[in-house]
Amino acid sequence: MMQLQDILFSQGFGTRRICSGLVQQGLVSVGDEASPCTDPTALFEEKGLCFRVQGESWQYQLRAYLMLNKPAGFECSHKPGAHPSVYTLLPAPLRARGGGAAAGVQAVGRLDHDTTGLLLLSDDGQFIHRMTSPRHHVPKVYEAQVKHPLDARQVRRLLDGVVLDDDPAAVRAQDCVAVNEHHLRMTLTEGKYHQVKRMVAAVGNRVEGLHRSAIGTLVLTPELPEGQWRWLTPDEVLALTRKREKAA
């Protein structure tokens, strides 16, 4: 059981003082109750709890696991440079969950500002580490639109391995197929800087558009519009983490 003000605080609705004020002002209702709860210290079982803040519905989540369909023109940074932050696409409570210096959800790896597609976000540090650590070899699938027609030689070289300018060790695609002469589908288990673009350049071609369509067992929801997000289901989170535990 948790006090209502602490539930709101954990979900990112501001400091405990602000959360207490939201309740006292009658801006929070719980469950199926039509009338607001005005007692900040009222106790509720937090697991599965549904509540409304200023008319917007929320469900208590111990940890946040999100899928975002990232559009082009956004940086995966809290302190972006030339482009807006991808975090501005999320509602304020998700950007402030938990309070403290490391508040809010964090991107699980990054996509370049001009790359679109599947981006995971979470406030679970162990989950983020498991999904990004090189030793877990989480596969990520990219759809690359390339400038020059693809041929079997280029695909073969990407599978066999190419050397990039910052590392003498060859990097290889786990899988690689030419969907058509200008569409390359590549699966990587590493996360080097600009890796897809640099690998394609190393075989004499050029990426002109890049989209991430899958991470591990998770495929980007086709119905999710660009710039929109959704919660991952418990089964989706379990499938991602179970696969990584077996690979550890």
Given phi > 0 = left and psi -120 to 50 = alpha, else beta, which region is 181?
alpha
Neighbours of 54 (CB within 10 A): 10
pLDDT, residue 80, reads 85
Q: For residue 131, what pLDDT is reported?
A: 92
138: pLDDT strictly greater than 60: yes
The mean pLDDT of the chain is 92
Calculate mean pLDDT across residues 3-30. 96
DSSP 87: G
pLDDT at 101 over 80: no
What's the whole-number mean pLDDT along residues 7-23? 95
Q: What percent of the chain has pLDDT over 90?
A: 81
- pLDDT(23) > 50: yes
Q: Which of 87-101, 131-145, 174-188 has the lowest mean pLDDT?
A: 87-101
CA 232 remoteness from chain centre: 10
The predicted-structure confidence for 190-230, as pLDDT tens digits, reads as follows 878 889 999 999 999 999 999 999 999 999 998 999 999 99
pTM of this prediction?
Answer: 0.90
Sorted by where each starts, the structural domains of the chain and their CATH numbers stand as 2-59 (3.10.290.10), 65-133+222-247 (3.30.70.580), 139-215 (3.30.70.1560)
How many residues does this entry show for the chain?
Answer: 248
The arithmetic mean of pLDDT across residues 16-24, rounded, is 96
Q: What residue type is 29 in one-letter code? A: S
Helix (H, G, I), strand (E, B) or coil at 188: strand
Burial class (CB in 10 A: 0-12, 13-18, 19+), 155: middle
Catalytic option among 112, 124, 151, 235: 112
Indicate whether 244 pLDDT > 60: no
Which two tokens mark 27? Answer: 């801006």
User: Is 160 considered catalytic here?
Assistant: no
* Residue 180 backbone phi and psi in degrees, to 5: -150, -175
pLDDT band at 102, cuts 50/70/90? Answer: low
